[in-house]
Amino acid sequence: MIIGIDVGGTNARALLIDPDSSEVIGRSRRSSAGSGSALSATLTEMVGELTESNDTTVESVGLGVAGLAHRSGVVHYSPNLPDLVEYPLGAELSTALGIEVTVMNDATAGTWAEAKLGAGRGCDDFILVALGTGIGTGFVSGGRLIHGAHGFAGEAGHMVVDASGPSHHTGHQGPWEYYASGSALGRMGQTQAASGHFPAALEIAGSAEDVDGFTVAAALAQGDDEARRIFAGFCRHVARGLVNLALIFDPARIVIGGGLTTMGEPLRSGVETGYRELMLGASHRPPIDIVMAQLGDDAGALGAALWAHEGL
């Protein structure tokens, strides 16, 4: 058996997987709070429990971590897991378990899972964009996962798309995720609600401060005109970054993942419309498939497990 663990800022979610069928045999979830050594102890326990309760043994463990996860197993930077930075998590866990442990970026891991088991199957060249609080990205090119020299590839959410734009909390001016993340959609809705142009949002959320991306999505589902206008603008921002990435990678498919995928087809078709408007010389290019991710919240843990097992 193999185990993949998605180490997020709040929780660590582990999956026990049969490497032959890729079937999920067991699940476990724990708080990821605390120091590097505390987290290492938690993960060791999770692996032990999953192994024992399913009466099996584990060959390898893969961790997907939000942040700059170095190939060596050390996380260099992670806004959501500040206590983990510079801690040799991979090596510690490997020593504790006596098996190989692989550490990789969570979006990169999720991209590999979609490549092997989800919306990227059968496609050698695709881009994954995960729209949530921020933007995560991952790339498969020529059938291979783009990892980078250190394992840091896929940070396209920080790509500057409007150098004249406002400063983001990261310090960059006008990065893609400022305009096209779930947080951005919430901010756009909030601004319109506060200025009195978006009464439907006020009705749904109660107050302008409580408007978020899901409020806009709910108003859109009700057919509200202002929600439609805001959402079209948002989708165009998503598409702008995707066009940049498509100019770089020439993919045959774009896979949309992340929390916003609960919006379903309106998100997919909205991004597709924006993409067609913005792509340069679209008439000279073969058409591109824009599809939704298929593995949901499991993608990170699944991909980390698969990569630890056979990707190296």
> Which residues contact a copy of itself by CB under 8 A?
68, 76-77, 85, 124-125, 137, 139, 141-142, 144, 146-156, 158-165, 170-172, 174, 240, 243-245, 247-252, 280-281, 284-286
From the CB of 280, what's the least distance to a copy of itself, in Å?
6
| One-letter amino acid for residue 91 of the chain | A
Of 49 and 162, the one with the shorter C-beta distance to a copy of itself is: 162
Residues in the chain: 312
Residue with tokens 């961790």: 63
CA distance 78 to 83: 9
From the CB of 28, what's the least distance to a copy of itself, in Å?
30
Of 116 and 147, the one with the shorter C-beta distance to a copy of itself is: 147
Bridge-based pairing of strands 24-31 and 11-17 is antiparallel
Of 20 and 163, the one with the shorter C-beta distance to a copy of itself is: 163
From the CB of 307, what's the least distance to a copy of itself, in Å?
13
Of 9 and 26, the one with the shorter C-beta distance to a copy of itself is: 9
From the CB of 57, what's the least distance to a copy of itself, in Å?
31
DSSP characters over 197-229: S-HHHHHHHSSGGG--HHHHHHHHHTT-HHHHH
DSSP characters over 229-262: HHHHHHHHHHHHHHHHHHHHH--SEEEEESGGGG
From the CB of 71, what's the least distance to a copy of itself, in Å?
10
Of 50 and 254, the one with the shorter C-beta distance to a copy of itself is: 254
CA distance 15 to 305: 8
Of 221 and 248, the one with the shorter C-beta distance to a copy of itself is: 248
From the CB of 174, what's the least distance to a copy of itself, in Å?
8
| DSSP letter (8 states) at residue 71 | T
CA distance 2 to 21: 11
DSSP characters over 81-94: -GGGTT--HHHHHH
Bridge-based pairing of strands 144-145 and 135-141 is antiparallel
